[in-house]
Structure 1
Amino acid sequence: MPNPVRMRWGERGTSMPGEVTIGIVTAIAIELATVRAVLDGVRDLRVAGDPGYYCVGTLPSAEERVPHRVAAVMLTRDGTRNAAATVVDMARSFPSIRVVVMCGIAAGLPAAGVRLGDVVSATGGIVDYGHLRATNGSRELRRASGDISTMFLAADNRLAVGQHDGRRPWEPVLAELERVNPGFRRPPPEGGTPSVHRGAIGSADVLLRDAVLRDGLADVHGIIAFEMEGSGISVGAGLHGREWFMIRGVSDLADDRKNDGWHGYAAAGAASYLRALAGVVEPVPAVARPDRRPGRVAELSRIVEALLAVRLVRDEHERRLLVDELPTHIRSVIAYSPTARTHVISIVRACEGFEEGQAALLGAVGLLLGAETAEFAQLEETVRQNWNGV
């Protein structure tokens, strides 16, 4: 029987792997079930060589006639390593994905005003508190998360502003989910609607049920929620030059009262907010598919290493200037990263997707280095030798 939620919101067509621009990752079955419920035109899909079971469909965008095409998948097991591996598989199976979104449940921090059923948006990034450097009694993070989606951050800001005017577009979606599926309903006798909190979310391979540890981590790192997959999502996305975002519904408070009673409603809250958030994001430009690239790179690693050998390219500020010199249609599909290697891979991959990509890349680098320098001449030779189709 067709899902009544999707019938009400309307069938908007289906997606093929090469058209998908947003990937959605969930950790447990109830999370994927709520995500499926908010997609339009949903159908199941397997991709050869990929162990994941995907559902593909669409979400509304800021442009009514151009919905986002999305693919959603559930981890085979929870944890940061499995999350990273799943994102890598997804990026290979859907090479046009630009943004990976983690959507599901998490533990909230009561001291920050976060309560059961609330929604947390990771606008403050991910704190990987499982990777620390301990020195003489002090602890600091060893690995920062990268490449949070600026598109989704901007959209979240728009929803935040709308809240002050009484506009909460995720609430009707959540109400409809509760109406059609008892498993998504708020546990009795609780009432009301969820609050949305924005900030940093802590991530580690730790099932946290310790209020003292919870509060200590929150004080040190400024965390307002805790989960077990986000740092892996950011790493996996970074490996393929993709951006990421995360939305969590609060199902427990990371103490000894943790249970499964709030899983359905919390997951539904996160999925509802995801649909509302996608609705104010402009259509996401796809990363060009490798099989459609007339100037496909033969030896990506050699070109990347040659670029990284250039001191100016390793400098983050100078690399931004290089990107600014690329044509807008190429520049718009480059996923930014503060990590030089990840950013350079994204730059080369983006240029690879266009007929004029090689010339544009060399032109930008030549402007940065000076087209008459020996350093540029050596780099140009390496690029031309390792770039097919030209």
Structure 2
Amino acid sequence: MPKTLRHEDYTVGWICPLEVEQTAALEMLDEEHERLPQPSTDDNVYTLGSMAGHNVVIAGLSGPNNTSVARVFANINTTFPRLKFGLFVGIGGGVPVKTDTGLIRLGDVVVSKPAGGHSGALQYDHGKAAVGQFQRTGALAPPPNVLLSAAQDMAAKRARLREAPIKKNISRIDTGVPGLRKYKYPVPEQDYLFDADYEHLTKGLSCDECGCDPSPRSKREADEVDEPHVVVHRGNIAYGELVITKAILRDKLAKQYGVLCFETEAAGAMGALTCIVIRGISDYADSHKNDQWHGYAAAAAAAYARQLFFHMPIDEVK
């Protein structure tokens, strides 16, 4: 029988903006717990469980917008008063730049980490005019030290392994189940990176369907496609209310703020539970984006988040 714990026993919140992300998160649980009563004012639906000795509350969103995010965070803090921090896990648009761990590609993971004077998660479309310039003012609080230390410990130990645990975590998702087929590793030849000034020809159709010219694009090198390997990059993640679909704008903002990834929901978490943001790269934040990599990118992000629990000191969390 599933365990029944108290509200006070749960110490970590895991927030998933999209359904594809929430399903991947559920597959990462070591065990699920019985649901608990909650106030009538809390309309969130929670899945309770544990990973690596930590009791976790997983919540999705009723809608992919900042209002929904803010409501989820407000309610989860009230219903589970002992939560110390959160994991904001999902997919995002990657900036195709080179980091210490390599070139950012589809299926990689980007994790928020303070860099370049920023907190690790900053709002690129919120600010004020000052002395003739636009000054950005929106940002999440930096991730708590325990999560930053766990991420660093995970990176150091992962570098010494021939087979990373993240890959094993992804394999927890049985893609033989019809509802989970979307999480299968895509055909690597579909990892297209187009020149920034080459726009997608027809909205709503894939590049192959609408006849995008293949000459201004690059693919993974041959030695990268034999077997999927999740590369993790750590640095600044940018969030805003509008989806970035212009590669030239992507590159301009990335250079201006030193960001590695773009996403759209983190603004709703401002002033709430302190979080680390984890994003699987599902597109390059350009006009050629599609949903072919959504499932695998969500799985990669969830797999990283699961592994992070094994590097957190349990006593510190409790």
Superposition TM-score, scaled by structure 1 size? 0.64
How do 1:167-178 and structure 2 match up within 5 A? 168-177=164-173
The CA RMSD over aligned residues, in Å, is 2.1
Query: Which structure has greater helix proportion?
Result: 1
Q: Structure with the greater relative contact order (CA < 8 A, sep ≥ 6): 1 or 2?
A: 2
Do the aligned residues in 2 keep the contact of 1:59 with 1:275 (CA within 8 Å)? yes
2:308 aligns with 277
Instruction: Say if 2:26 is the partner of 1:36.
Output: yes
Instruction: Say if 2:233 is the partner of 1:233.
Output: no
SS of residue paired to 1:84? helix
Q: Would you say how many aligned residue pairs link Structure 1 and Structure 2?
A: 266
How do 1:1-390 and structure 2 match up within 5 A? 13=3, 15-43=5-33, 45=35, 47-49=38-40, 50-60=42-52, 67-112=53-98, 113-124=103-114, 125-166=120-161, 168-177=164-173, 179-180=175-176, 181-190=180-189, 191=225, 192-237=228-273, 243-283=274-314, 285=316
- CA apart distance, 1:74: 0.7
Rg larger for: 1
Give the residue type in structure 1 aligned to 2:172.
E
Give the residue type in structure 1 aligned to 2:293.
W
- CA apart distance, 1:170: 1.1
C-alpha offsets along residues 125-146 of structure 1, whole Å, 9 cap, x if unaligned? 1011121122344222213321
SS of residue paired to 1:51? coil
- CA apart distance, 1:16: 3.5
Do the aligned residues in 2 keep the contact of 1:85 with 1:236 (CA within 8 Å)? no
C-alpha offsets along residues 55-89 of structure 1, whole Å, 9 cap, x if unaligned? 010010xxxxxx10000111111223321221111
Do the aligned residues in 2 keep the contact of 1:58 with 1:68 (CA within 8 Å)? yes
Shift in CA distance, 200/28, structure 1 to aligned 2, threshold 3 Å: same
Deviates more, 1:50-59 or 1:138-147: 138-147
Query: Which structure has greater strand proportion?
Result: 2
Do the aligned residues in 2 keep the contact of 1:54 with 1:71 (CA within 8 Å)? yes
Identity of aligned residues (%): 29
SS of residue paired to 1:235? coil
Distance in structure 1 (CA, Å) of the matches to 2:188 and 2:81: 46
Distance in structure 2 (CA, Å) of the matches to 1:82 and 1:96: 22
Give the residue type in structure 2 aligned to 1:37.
E
C-alpha offsets along residues 341-373 of structure 1, whole Å, 9 cap, x if unaligned? xxxxxxxxxxxxxxxxxxxxxxxxxxxxxxxxx
Shift in CA distance, 153/12, structure 1 to aligned 2, threshold 3 Å: farther
Do the aligned residues in 2 keep the contact of 1:14 with 1:57 (CA within 8 Å)? no
SS of residue paired to 1:199? strand
Unpaired stretches in structure 1, ≥5 consecutive residues: 1-10, 61-66, 238-242, 288-390
Give the residue type in structure 2 aligned to 1:165.
R
Shift in CA distance, 120/83, structure 1 to aligned 2, threshold 3 Å: same
SS of residue paired to 1:140? strand
Shift in CA distance, 271/177, structure 1 to aligned 2, threshold 3 Å: same
Superposition TM-score, scaled by structure 2 size? 0.78
